[in-house]
Structure 1
Amino acid sequence: MSVRAVRIMLVIAIVIDVAYWSVWFTQRSWVESDTTQAYVAFENAFPLADAWLGVTCVLAFIALGRRSPTALLWLIAADSAGMYLFCMDVLYDLQNGIYGKGSGGVIEAGINLITLAFSLAALRWAWARRDELLTRTAS
C-alpha cells in the first residue's frame, strides 16, 4: 500500500464520518437501526469521539502530505480511535440485535467493517514503516 492509498483511506473515513452525522442530525430515519430511547442515546454519545477520529484523520492526512514525522503519531491516534469506536459499536450492536434490523442494520455493519478494515490496514502500514515515517523530512 502506498502513501497515496493511505491518504485516500483517510479522506474516505472523514467523508463517511461527516456524511453519517449530517444524515443522523437531519434525516435520522435514513440511517437509524432502531428508534428506542436507549439506541438514540447510545448513538448520540458518539459525535465527540467521531469528531476526534476525524481530527486525527485530517492531521494524519496533512502530516503525510508534508512528509512530517508526526504522521506516525497521527496515524496511530486515528487507527486506535477507529478500533476503539469499532469495538464499542460492535459490542452494542451484537448485544442489541442491531445488525438484523433492516437497512439501518446493514448500514451499521458496513460502517463497522470499513472502520475495522481501514484501522487495521493503516495501523499495520504505519507500524511497518515507522522508521521511515519518523525520519521523513519535507521535500
Structure 2
Amino acid sequence: MRRFIVGMLAVAILLDVVYWALWFTDRSAIASLDTQAYYQFEDAFPLADAWLGLTCVMALVTLLRGGERALFWLIAAGSAGVYLGSMDLLYDLENGIFTTGGGGAFELVIVILTWAFSLTVLSWSWRHREELLGRRETEE
C-alpha cells in the first residue's frame, strides 16, 4: 500500500501541474463554463493548489526517504485536498456544473479524484502513524 500512496502522490503532483498549465495556456480545453464568474472562481485557486502541490511533493520526498516528517506532510496534503475538494464540490453543486456536458463530467471526475486521494492519504497515514514516526517495523 505504501507504493500505492507514493503513486497517488506522484499522480496528484502531475495532475496539478498539467491542470494549471492547461488553464493558463488553453483554458477552453478544461473549462466547464464560459462565464466571467466561473473564470474568477477558478482564478482564485492557483495559490491553494500550489500549496496542495507543495504538500504532495514534501509528502512524497519524506515518505521515500523514510523521514518522520512524512506523517506531517501526508496529513497536510490530505487535508488540503479535502478543503479544495469541498470548495469545488459546493461551487459545482450550487452552479449546476455537473450537468453542463463534458465539462461538467470532467469537473465531477476532478472532485471524485480529489476526495478519493485525500481520504485515502489521510486514512492510510493515520493508520500507519507509528510506523511513519519510526516507532515500529513496516508491516507492508
Q: Which residue of 1 aligns with 2:58?
A: 59
Q: Identity percentage over the alignment?
A: 56
Counterpart in the other structure of 2:77: 78
Matched letter for residue 51 of structure 1: A
* Cα offsets for 1:36-87 (capped at 9, x unmatched): 1111000000000000000000000000110000000000000000000000
**Where in structure 1 do 4 or more consecutive aligned residues deviate above 4 Å?**
none
More moved, 68-77 vs 101-110:
101-110
Deviation at 1:28, TM superposition (A): 0.7
Q: For 1:23 and 1:11, how far apart are their aligned partners in 2?
A: 18
Gaps of 5+ in 2: 136-140
- Quick one: distance in 2 between partners of 1:12 and 1:133? 21
User: How do residues 1-139 of structure 1 correspond to structure 2 at under 5 angstroms?
Assistant: 2-135=1-134
Tell me if the contact between 1:99 and 1:105 (Cα under 8 Å) persists in the aligned partners.
Answer: yes
Name stretches of at least 5 consecutive residues in structure 1 with no aligned partner: none
Q: Scaled by the length of structure 1, what TM-score is found?
A: 0.95
Give the letter for the 1:108 counterpart: E
Question: What TM-score comes out, normalization by structure 2 length?
Answer: 0.94
Aligned residue pair count: 135
What secondary structure sits across from 1:27 in the alignment?
helix
The one-letter amino acid paired with 2:33 is: D
